[in-house]
Structure 1
């Protein structure tokens, strides 16, 4: 059966579909419609990726939209979208006559204890697809679901940004962390890199002359960096979720978002959730980094 899944979110939001995709791809032809850059990372595991910001897909949000071309022909459409007025549902029914249409809110309820990946897997199961949500989720915890050849390089990557300033700790924490790591690996072959996304270039000045800086421009560039990374440290961000799903040893710093809903999924993830202050988070991060560096002989060889 050909299934179209619509997920109009950022990188981290989109990656939360990976456990479900891995669980259903052997029995179904899966097409993903979403936003760049998130959908590009799912491309190797789905039949097709569609950018909602190209072609006629923007019409989904318009009342009584009419489409000139039928862009794909799914048997079933599952959307994770805000559609309180049923505008999107009506347009999808017109665009794909005969297809089963199911629309779900993009995220669990605000007070929900359910992880976003499990929430979406349960929604997909409710449409009639044979999938075990919890089994799919915990399988992604046991082994990498994306590009599993990673974790054997000599690179330590720090990613001090995210899609929301509220999630971020100040540059001072990251500069102290840089100094701490540099002292501990001074006589080792490991290198420290700071990864900056295109939307985060404003913080580059804080790291000038303190580390090698990489500005991630596209999917292949980012994957090439992470492919040679043995330790990744970042906020709750799309890149952190990507590193975790690639099996990289990942330390995720959570400040404002909820770990129960958004904890990174992967076999080598450690999470520091600290809402009380930067100093406490800094101390916990330093201790965890030092513990991992002591294990580098096993992690990075």
Structure 2
């Protein structure tokens, strides 16, 4: 495992801080953020990510600059001849941490900077360890994170102590989609859940992603009011809605990680994916179920041919409602 070493300062810029580069989806980025949160108060941090994630990372205290991963400075690293301006910019950082499986990308970066630490964005599929903890451990092994820093669990507890939200809204956000329909609890059960929450006096809003238009159609066909459906690809709108809600319920998705990170009471339904590896980290998170069938988890192992999806169909509306009502 490579350890970083100090390098000589450039003539124009003293080296300081860390540039983190992550090309993954929202949930993957938040898992990495949980792992590096202990550095935020001690180190200058810049973060490079996909454009649609920038609005979220721009709100995280302690992250100085958020850079689009498609910025010319980043894409030019793959050119045969590197631009001096790009090299000068990268050399203002003491370390560059690349969250990637790509050795080619690591090689391209090493042409521009001597201290490149490549970290796999998730653990090997057979390792039963949370993704954030895996990243934290890897960064400790490379001395990016000192043994003196708090463990991830300490930060979650600290958030819990500071996360009391005086919520004036009786609104529950339901997000019935995810990055893969294979992970989704049946929509009709989400709709039954929504009806029961309305009977308890709560307003239910349905958060639908840009690639999930079919869900909008089904909700409207089942008498869900159009003004109760939030169909958007704007993360600013999603964050605004979450911050004005009292509860969130959804599948294993990036939005579930976002709700948990913000500190909202959150229930996440897991089926074929492994909650031990992907449970959103936050002070107020519950997962269903808290154990697995013999045949699951299978999502990351390529065996997605089951037709029964028993891991999801065995989860009842009553079971989910019980988790939520205990918090409302």
User: How far apart in 1 are the matches of 2:55 and 2:219?
Assistant: 29
Aligned to 1:265, the other structure's residue is in SS state coil
- Equivalenced residue count is 283
CA distance in 2, matches of 1:281, 1:59: 51
Question: How does 1:95-114 map onto structure 2 within 5 Å?
Answer: 95-96=112-113, 99-114=114-129
Q: Select 1:41's aligned residue among 56, 77, 83.
A: 56
Q: Does the CA contact (< 8 Å) of 1:116 and 1:262 recur in 2?
A: yes
Aligned to 2:71: 54
Q: Which runs of 5+ in 2 are unaligned?
A: 1-15, 293-309
In the TM superposition, what are the counterparts of 1:152-167 in structure 2 within 5 Å?
A: 152=167, 153-167=169-183
Give the TM-score normalised by the residue count of structure 1: 0.85
Alignment partner of 1:77 is 2:99: no
Residue 93 of structure 1 aligns with which residue?
A: 110
Instruction: Give the 3-state SS of the residue equivalent to 1:16 in structure 2.
Output: helix
Matched residues in 1 for 2:261 and 2:165: separation? 10
Measure, in 2, the Cα distance between the counterparts of 1:31 and 1:215: 31
* Structure 1 residue runs without a partner (length 5+): 297-301
Q: CA deviation at 1:261?
A: 0.6
Contact 1:34 1:50 survives alignment (8 Å): yes
How far residue 63 of structure 1 moved from its aligned partner, in angstroms, is: 7.4
**Counterpart in 2 of 1:202?**
214
Provide the residue aligned with 1:192 in structure 2: 204
Alignment equivalent of 2:139, drawn from 124, 135, 143? 124
CA distance in 1, matches of 2:101, 2:286: 32
Residue 255 of structure 2: which of 232, 239, 247 is its match? 239
CA distance in 2, matches of 1:267, 1:218: 25
Q: By how many angstroms is 1:55 displaced?
A: 1.6
- Would you say the 8 A contact 1:65–1:91 is kept in 2? no
Aligned to 1:288: 323
CA drift of 1:239 comes to 0.8
Moved more, 241-250 or 121-130: 121-130
Show the 5 A alignment for 1:164-183.
Answer: 164-183=180-199
Residues 1:251 and 2:292 aligned together: no
Q: CA deviation at 1:267?
A: 0.9
Is the 1:9–1:38 Cα contact (8 Å) retained in structure 2?
A: no
Q: Secondary structure at the match of 1:69?
A: helix
SS at match of 2:320: helix
Q: Secondary structure at 1:181's aligned position in 2?
A: helix
Deviation at 1:69, TM superposition (A): 3.1
Contact 2:197–2:203 (CA under 8 A) maintained in structure 1? no
